[in-house]
Amino acid sequence: MSPHPYLRTLLGPLAVIIACGTGVRAAAPAPITAERAIVASAHPLASEVGRSILAAGGNAVDAAVAVSFALSVVEPWSSGLGGGAFAVVHVGGESMTLDMRETAPAAATRDMFLVDGVFVPTESTSTARAAGIPGLVRGMAELHRRFGKLSFEAVVAPAVALAREGFPVSRLLHGAVAAYAGQLSPEARAIFMPGGEVPAVGQVLVQADLARTLARIAATRGEDFYVGETAAELVRAVKAAGGIWEAGDLAGYRPKERAPVQGAFAGYQVASMGPPSSGGLLLVQMLGVLERLPPCKKKICPRPEELWKGAERLHTLAEVMKRAFAARAIGLADPDAVAVDHERFVGATALERLAREVGAARRATPAGKLSRLSVKPVERMHTSHFAVVTADGDGVAVTQTINLGFGNKQVAGATGVVLNNEMDDFAAAPGAPNAFGLVGDEANAVAPGKRPLSSMTPTLVLRDGKVVGAFGSPGGSRIITTTLQVLLHVVADGMNTSEALAAPRVHHQWHPDRLMVEPLLLSPEVRAALEARGHDLAEVGLMGNAMAIWRRDDGTLEGAADPRGEGSAAGW
């Protein structure tokens, strides 16, 4: 499996990961620490926006909404106004989640991505019909309405300024434009390839149309995007490109409040995103199984510092992961369209059965024994995770996305908005793999007004009703396993947030039946031990671009950004 071209632009950080593979504590830089709050995001300019909003008297939600809009400008290939998000929020002692996931337009049909009865992947990724109705703008406006302290204009203003005045092109933005140059629509090329060229690192990129759209959003609490000038231009442009959006789809879009998926691990409470994300159920399941393993503490709380990359731990993780992903493929989808049985994933009976199975599996369990569907993976890495945690125990974790790099590669007319290709997260046909090699059954079939199943896993960790940690990542199917491992490293392995993020990762998603590992994680002895147990090992590129925030026992907040990306933590 050769890395996607865009992944190659990420290989710079390999030095840190490789160093960490051989001695994580020595190699990772110290986390950022702060007394009042930490913001961690995938772009330093966005983290700085969050810090400045806190310094101006904003709360965690004001900062999160401001970071979200800023990321829409400085990471245009990754997430934005044309996409969706999930937020897990804990403010004033109460937890909630907001589902701002894209929704299939009213004219969507079950077989819309089949040609002569066969699924054609480009249909659900690279056409105007690949775009679901975006939820980010109304979702962020709703979060702000519920919890924000500052004015909406004030939290959107930094993003307007970044779009209007421009910002220096980063290494990853340069790499993303270079990787997708040949696929971008004329409107997208006009913005992201000024003068017809891939912009150099450091060159200032202005997004004038996006600045005007953001200014209208700021002035209307987001409504212009759904019922105003922006809405009209979005519908016009999508239809002109062959899409099926109607004015009513945008006008009728609503973010939905949902209860968090709750779990327990090592004495902490975990609050994560439930359906239509699979992330929370799988994460809470995997943590619950690990906690129940006999003898659990020895496997998941290794005391010898490096046991986390030993064969026993990696074998156990692979067995836990593949069972979670086998379950994901059946009956998991938008809970407003199908009844999702949470007990099957995270009920005590299910967790105990899985723990017995994993505990008894001395060899790798073949994927075919766990379920019936089969898939083939494709490497991709976009989407953005960020979080804000304050000293008073409030926290917001958000993962936002337009799905693949530059979404469907189209900018909608004069809006400056990059359109998502989230429709690819539906199961175009039962068992047909999406861009991440994920399969689903009829439950996740396309239907009008339905939200596609996601893997995004924004997660808060709480103790005594206060947020002590925030975790999450992009990475498609690897989001869930990346979030699991970073959380385990901090909570169970005693690493600080930088060490936890730098540690090399593994991933198993049931199909393909392969334990994917980052370069140089495995010593020859560990590799041999895993192969002797029947694991098919595949060394892949880098996985995820995670963020981690943690409150130490002495109350100090610390945070860090994944060395695989270019993000940062900012303290206040």
- Residues with catalytic annotation? 383
For residues 60 and 388, is the Cβ–Cβ distance under 8 A? Answer: yes
Q: Which of positions 418-437 make contact with ligand DON (CB under 6 A)? A: 422, 425
Minimum CB separation of residue 60 from ligand DON in Å reads: 23
Q: Which of 381, 526, 557, 560 binds ligand DON (CB under 6 A)?
A: 381
Q: Which is nearer to ligand DON, 454 or 498 (CB)?
A: 454
Choices 120-128, 258-266, 344-352, 380-388 (CB under 6 A): range interacting with ligand DON: 380-388
How many Cβ atoms are within 10 Å of 360's Cβ, its own excluded? 10
d(CA 509, CA 278): 13
Q: Which residues contact 300 (CB under 8 A, 6 or more apart)?
A: 266, 290, 291, 293, 313, 316, 488, 492
- The bridge status of strand 384-390 relative to strand 515-517 is unpaired
Among 72, 207, 383, 444, binds ligand DON (CB under 6 A): 383
Q: How far apart are the first and last CA of the chain?
A: 42
Nearer to ligand DON, 230 or 421 (CB): 421
CB 561, CB 569: distance < 8 Å: yes
In angstroms, rounded to a whole number, what is the distance separating the alpha carbons of residues 31 and 389?
15
> Tokens 């600045």 sit at which residue?
211
Asked if residue 380 binds ligand DON (CB under 6 A), the reply is yes
Phi, psi (degrees; rounded to nearest 5) at 171: -60, -45
Q: Which residues contact 297 (CB under 8 A, 6 or more apart)?
A: none
Two structure tokens written together for 309: 């990359």
Which runs of consecutive H residues, i.e. helices, occur in 301-413? 311-328, 342-346, 348-360
- In the complex with ligand DON, which residue's Cβ is closer, 177 or 522? 177
Position 400 contacts ligand DON (CB under 6 A): no
Q: Which is nearer to ligand DON, 187 or 425 (CB)?
A: 425
Shortest reach from residue 401's CB to ligand DON, in Å: 5
Measured from the CB atom, is 310 or 377 closer to ligand DON? 377
Interaction of residue 474 with ligand DON, rule CB under 6 A: yes
DSSP E strand stretches across 22-68 = 32-34, 37-41
Of 478 and 514, nearer to ligand DON (C-beta) is 478
Structure tokens at 471: 């975790």
Q: Is 79 in the site for ligand DON (CB under 6 A)?
A: no
Considering only 108-116, 198-206, 449-457, 519-527, which stretch makes contact with ligand DON by CB under 6 A? 449-457
Give SS3 for 469: strand
What's the gap between Cα 572 and its chain centre? 25
- 507 near ligand DON, rule: CB under 6 A: no
Residue 454 near ligand DON by CB under 6 A: yes
Asked whether position 272 contacts ligand DON by CB under 6 A, the answer is no
Rounded to whole angstroms, how far apart are CA atoms 85 and 386?
Answer: 11
Antiparallel, parallel or unpaired: β 515-517 and 537-539: parallel
Q: How many residues bind ligand DON (CB under 6 A)?
A: 15
475 binds ligand DON (CB under 6 A): yes
Q: CB-wise, 59 or 401, nearer to ligand DON?
A: 401
Residue 310 interacting with ligand DON (CB under 6 A):
no
Is 541 near ligand DON (CB under 6 A)?
no
Q: If binding is defined by CB under 6 A, does position 502 make contact with ligand DON?
A: no
Cβ 118 to ligand DON, closest distance in Å?
A: 23
Our finding on whether 482 is near ligand DON (CB under 6 A) is no
Site stretch for ligand DON (CB under 6 A), options 37-45, 294-302, 468-476, 504-512: 468-476
* 403 is a site residue for ligand DON (CB under 6 A): yes
Neighbours of 146 (CB within 10 A): 13
Specify the residue, 280 or 393, whose C-beta has the smaller distance to ligand DON: 280
| Alpha-carbon gap, residue 312 to 116, rounded angstroms | 48
Closest CA to 459 of 408, 521, 387: 387
Pick the stretch among 262-270, 469-477, 513-521, 522-530 that binds ligand DON (CB under 6 A): 469-477
In the complex, what is the shortest distance from the CB of residue 474 to ligand DON, in angstroms, rounded to a whole number?
A: 4
Please tell me whether residue 243 binds ligand DON under the rule CB under 6 A. Answer: no
Rule CB under 6 A: say whether 456 interacts with ligand DON.
yes
Does 563 help bind ligand DON (rule: CB under 6 A)?
no
Give the interface segment with ligand DON, choosing from 124-132, 211-219, 451-459, 486-494 (CB under 6 A): 451-459
476 binds ligand DON (CB under 6 A): yes
- Closest C-alpha to 66, from 37, 92, 95: 37
Give SS3 for 101: coil
8 A C-beta contact, residue 456 and residue 399: yes
Q: What is the DSSP string of 415-453?
A: G-PBPP-GGGGS-SSTT---TTS----GGG---TT----
- Give the binding site for ligand DON (CB under 6 A): 380-383, 401, 403, 422, 425, 454-456, 474-476, 479
